Structure 1
């Protein structure tokens, strides 16, 4: 760890949107705990739905990770954007991993869907949220993209559930013959989101064209 990185850890940690992150984590854990709260035999479909809801809630919290009201001040410091964004992600990642692990254990084992496949969905959804926030930061002067990104993520999730044709379905049950093919698509989407997000974190060479009056 470089001297610059160590010097930035405490300031970045203090400026993280902990309220939004905590709200997303709490909502995710609440959703994951629903199968245990209901009386009667656990329902596998409900367990799957609860974990997908938890993954979406966690991603909604992460959508606020790049919110920085002091963005236009910190952009002038001699530390490039990839490092600033990378530190935020690195500090939030253990929290997100802990919340997701707790959500998995909250769902009763007998109705818990395949952990690896659901974790892939959760990671892809989170990376989508972070990549969208990075794109907004790169393409605009917005200091708090979280609200817009979370609204976009909710609408995208609804579209994936309601509008995608059967051949492109992303939300299927484990007993569906399309389960493996679906998660191959999830893996491809995760790769695309990682590439787009990484590219969005690179500071543009020019902030815009300046025209001189004649």
Structure 2
């Protein structure tokens, strides 16, 4: 009959693997989405995803899956502690990797306006026009700095001056979107931390069981 501790350990181990699946799915789907033709409904997300470490997310997910596979012997060998120690260290490595990815995105949010200004100037007029249509604005800071792209939203200089620049709505959207990404990464780190604690408790439990078994053997109970 499995103990409650082992049931929690198994549950967290599968949640850990599920986090790897979410990370892999998000990274691959984001890379696929970025290859789509730019439209008003996807241009902003694609630009922001291009600033995220998606390749690092794929590598991190692979590490998580490898760690999960190496944890299976620890589940099926109730007296073994070596596989548990290996799993514990690998989970720490995965957590550190995920934390690094989350921090990379978080640091970008601290300088959102500066980064988005550089991003805006690098993009082609088509992308700038799509951003103007999405946020109903003209130019980045204002209609003249840098100059707006004339389109259906910014018909002429008079209309453009009345609408204002895109810096406000663009940066607000970027902060909200990137906040979700790095918060999810930190949430995965939280799952990793719980799993490490659970591994430590299972190690302690198995160590105590081994000690009791040796005591029983010395008392002539045959390790029962």
TM over 0.5: no
Question: Under a length normalisation based on structure 1, what TM-score does the superposition of the two structures give?
Answer: 0.34
Q: Please identify which structure carries the higher helix content.
A: 2
TM-score normalised by the chain length of structure 2 = 0.33
Higher Rg: 2
